[in-house]
Amino acid sequence: MPESRNAKPTALKLLQFTTGLFITAWGFRAFLMENSILSGGVPGLSLLLFRLFELSPSITQWLIGIPILVIAWPLLGKKAALASIAGSILLPAAIYIAQWLPVVPCQEPILASLFGGLIIGLGLGMIFASNFTVGGFSLVARMLNRYLGITMANSMLILDGLVIIATVFFFGPEAAMLAMLSILAISKAIDIVLTGLGLAKSITIITDKADEMREMLLEKLDSGATELPATGAYSGQNKTVFLTVIPRAKAARLRRNILRVDPQAFTIISDASEVLGYGFSHHA
């Protein structure tokens, strides 16, 4: 019985990984490659070389990605290594197969860049959510972090920046701007897949008017809240902190009510990508 229970999640993860591969490959072929739009990462570099020398993007990605994987191997654990091998080898293969799928010729390069990026990001998000990776620049970033102390985020920024600079040099600033748009769309779509749309707002309120604020939250907004005592570090005055999570649709009304109850209240409003536990859905 334990084996059958474990097999089901594994099969679902593999199905999700495979689906993500082909969504990514189709977005790459049908939108970016078909409309001569560049992007970041090893796939973006392969598109750059394709436009310059008509080299096959799939072969280019293998030629770049596999050596990176070999060099980065000592930094990877067994599980991470297997996940990276699968992505590094199978994504270029999926891109090769995707040449027989329908393409989307587009008269507006901005639309091709935006929708291509969103579709690629959707596919990559599914790949990452299934605990696989696609290797490439993320492994280079890990090496730069290990040996040079450069953060992963800064390393990715540098690597994608080099591709953008090369794009400006060979194809001009407009091509580079379209490439940056595709990178932003990919990043946003990945975030949405991995963390959700942020349909809730997390609210922190620091106020001197605890009774009035509590009444407003519980009665006027029908919202639960956590109340904490606090002391101002500079003033030394006693304060009350309210923490609450509300649906996005209530955020504007809450903001107005906070200003009405205490115009001096210090308020932080941020997206809550995921809300767990009893209370939120009950009050929403």
Bridge partners of 242, per DSSP, are: 205, 227
Asked if 84 and 149 count as a contact pair (C-beta separation under 8 A), the reply is: no
Residue 57 has pLDDT above 60, yes or no: yes
Res 276 pLDDT > 80: no
Cα separation, 283 vs 250, whole angstroms: 11
Q: What's the pLDDT score for residue 262?
A: 94
Q: What tokens appear for 18 in the block?
A: 């495979």
Q: What is the pLDDT of residue 183?
A: 95
Q: What is the pTM of this model?
A: 0.78
Q: Which amino acid belongs to residue 26?
A: W
The CA distance from 23 to 54, in Å, is 23
DSSP 33: I
Domain 200-283 carries which CATH code? 3.30.70.120
> What are the phi and psi torsion angles at 142 (to 5°)?
-65, -40
Find the mean pLDDT for residues 249-267. 89
Using DSSP's 3-state secondary structure scheme, residue 187 falls into helix
Query: Which residues are CB-contacts of 213 (< 8 A; sequence separation ≥ 6)?
Result: 205, 207, 240, 242, 258, 261, 262, 265
Query: What angle, rounded to 10 degrees, do the helices at 173-195 and 41-53 form?
Result: 150
Write down the pLDDT at residue 119.
Answer: 97
CATH 3.30.70.120 in the chain: give the residue spans.
200-283
